[in-house]
Amino acid sequence: GISTLLNDGQAYDAIVNTVTSPQYYSASKLYTEEFYELVRSRLNGNGVYSSWFDLNIDREGISIMLNTLEKVFTHCRYFLLTTAYFNVACSREPLNYLSSKSITERTDRSHLESQLHQFGFEDGFSETMSALEMRFDDHFFQSSSSDITTLDFPAIEFVVARAGDERMTALKLEQAIVRNIEYRRDTAFGISRWKRSCQTVARMSGLRFEGC
C-alpha cells in the first residue's frame, strides 16, 4: 500500500485500508501521521479514506489513532459495526450523505435499498448510517490521548505491545455507545425516530437500551 501510493502518483476517489490492526509491527506504519498525509495527498478533492479499528489495540491505542487521523484530515466520522469493531471515514471536505436514490443511480442500479431491506435496515442508507455514527468524548479518551503516532515515534506500537486491559476497553466502548444513544434521545426529531435509531444500534451491537 505504501509503495503503490509513493510510486504511482495517481489520485483516487477512495482509499480503503483493510490491513490488520497495528497490533502487528508489519502493519503499524499504516497508522502513522506520515502515512495518513500520503493518503491525503493521493485523494481527489472530495476523496475519502476508510479504515477500521477494534478493541484489541486498547483504549489508549484507539485514542492515539483517532488523534493522528484528526490531525491530518479535517473531517472524520466513526461508525459502529459491533461493540468491538468500528469503521472510520475521513476526508479533507465535509462528509455528507447522498440520498439512497442518488447512490443507487451512481452504482449502476445496485438496488441498494432492497439490499438494506433484505438485511433488516428498513430506514434506508442515510438513516441507517446516521444511527450507527459514533462520537467519542472525553469520557472515553485516555489522559495521554494527546499523543499521535509517527514513523519516528510510533506511540501506537508501544501501547499495543503492552498487555492492555481488553475487558476495560470493551466496557468503555459500550459506555460510549450508550452515551451516543442517550445523546440522540435528547436531540432526535421525535421519539419514534429515536426508537428506530436505537433498534438499529441494538441490532448491530447486541446491547439493550431502556425504552428502545
Q: 185 phi and psi, to 5 degrees?
A: -60, -40
Q: Check residue 188 and give its pLDDT.
A: 65
Q: Which amino acid is located at 184 in the chain? A: R
Task: Name the phi and psi angles at 69, rounded to 5.
Answer: -60, -45
3-state secondary structure of 116: helix
SS3 content of the chain, % helix, strand, coil (to 5): 50, 15, 35
Return the C-alpha torsion angle 51, 53, 57, 61, nearest 10. 70
Predicted TM-score of the model (pTM): 0.87
| Mean pLDDT, rounded, for 47-53 | 94
| H-assigned helices in the chain | 2-8, 33-41, 58-72, 100-106, 112-118, 124-132, 155-161, 166-187, 191-205
Q: What is the pLDDT of residues 15-25, one digit of tens each?
A: 999 887 776 66
One-letter amino acid of 156? I
| Three-class DSSP category at 17 | coil
Sign of CA dihedral 7, 8, 12, 17: negative
113-160: per-residue pLDDT in tens?
A: 778 888 888 887 888 888 999 998 888 887 666 789 998 988 888 888
Residues whose CB is less than 8 angstroms from the CB of residue 77 and which lie 6 or more positions away in sequence, other chains included:
88, 89, 90, 95, 133
Over residues 77-123, the pLDDT tens digits come to 999 999 889 999 999 999 988 776 777 677 655 677 778 888 888 88
Lay out the sheet containing 75-82: strands in order across.
Answer: 12-16, 43-54, 85-91, 75-82, 133-134
CA 69/CA 210 separation, integer angstroms: 34
Contact criterion met (CB below 8 Å) for 129 and 74: no
